[in-house]
Amino acid sequence: MSGTTLEGIRAVLYDFDGTLADSTELIMRCYRHTMRTHLGSVPPDDVWLSGFGMTLESQMRRFGRDPDEVEAMLDTYREYQNSIHDDLLRPFPDAAQTVAELERRGYGLAIVTSKHRRAAMKGMELCGLVRHFDVIVTPEDVAEPKPHPEPVLLALQKLGVAPHEALFVGDSPHDIASGRAAGTRTAAALWGPFPRQALEDARPDAFLHAQRDVLALLNGGGADR
């Protein structure tokens, strides 16, 4: 355990699902329902979990046997998600408070998510986060979603900051890969569904055990390296 100092940071970019929003149970229920409906059985949860951080379309193409089935599976997933979304999605403890404090301190803020805009906005509203983020980058905005650097680079452009002036916080190796490829500093959220080893392999600059560790990291100490 050692303090990590991040100097010159002007903006914090966040993933949404698994980072600010506790959505794992919601996502897994939708996955199991979709697989059971279309395949008659459910592959192990780890198979789906390994793709967390990718777009839903990318995930579903791993299971659908042809393009028509993929589209049908996407429809099933989204319809079921809409029916249970508000009951299962919630912000992680201190998420909204930490983001509000970052805003108060003058940091630029952006969401960089693999969730489509309509669903992302619905989730952010539910979590009380929308008012803090002027920049929200979703798959509709780019040709290449995470783990490609394009979504992060677009968010940086919209914020008007250079890559070395930004920290990208995410819970998946795909988030860390996207941030690193774009040239930002990266911090891995350990409260998401990925084991620490998977995140260590992605080589983030720091590990976060709780939401407010972002504030400590930017203050020059308290975050696990």
| Residues annotated catalytic, as ranges | 15
DSSP labels, 37-105: HHHSS---HHHHHTTBTB-HHHHHTTT-SSHHHHHHHHHHHHHHHHHHHHHH-EEPTTHHHHHHHHHHT
DSSP labels, 35-49: HHHHHSS---HHHHH
What's the CA gap between 24 and 49, in Å, rounded?
9
Residue 171 three-state SS: coil
Residue 157, Cβ density class (10 Å: 0-12 exposed, 13-18 middle, ≥19 buried): exposed
What's the CA gap between 76 and 145, in Å, rounded?
22
Q: Are 159 and 135 in contact (CB under 8 A)?
A: yes
